[in-house]
Amino acid sequence: MKKLLASTAMLATLALAGCTSTGTGTTTGTGTTASTAMTTASSIGMNIFTSAIDTQCRSEIEKQNAWRVASVAMTDAQQETVKTNVCGCVSEQAPQQVTMVELGNAAIDSSYRTELVATVVAKSLQSCYTSLVK
């Protein structure tokens, strides 16, 4: 509970700091603005999250009986193409299914991150697989 409270407070602080910005940012010694740094940090966090989504997606695909049957008739290259297309779809949908608070909590708590990734993959995997197989 303390981790959830701490991460929520940290996100609220960052959000409020962003609201007080004039849009020009504060230039640091290297010429980078504070708003650019925030954008970069957010981008890095999202990249880590989508990477975890892709890894979980590939793992879940391989566990499915339908995949085991279908993959017998495919070459390794075909299997990789299908996994890349399906998991790419899942990774694209992931940011739409999570809030900034959830991402902040996931950044702080690895068990929460694992749970969040599993939930997002479960919600998206079947719809993406169905839409790409048609």
Maximum separation of any 2 CA atoms in the chain, in Å: 58
Q: Which residues pair with 33 in a beta bridge?
A: 27
For 27, the token pair is 């230039």
- The token pair at 65 is 């009986």
- What per-residue confidence (pLDDT) applies to 38? 60
Give me the pLDDT at residue 78, please: 94
Count CB neighbours of 24 within 10 A. Answer: 9
- Least Cα distance to 88 among 132, 36, 119, 24 occurs for 132
CA 27 to chain CA mean position, Å: 30
d(CA 25, CA 128): 39
Q: Are 86 and 53 in contact (CB under 8 A)?
A: no
Per-residue pLDDT at 34: 63
Higher pLDDT, 50 or 17: 50
Name the nearest CA neighbour of 50 among 97, 14, 2, 109.
97
Average pLDDT of every residue of the chain: 76
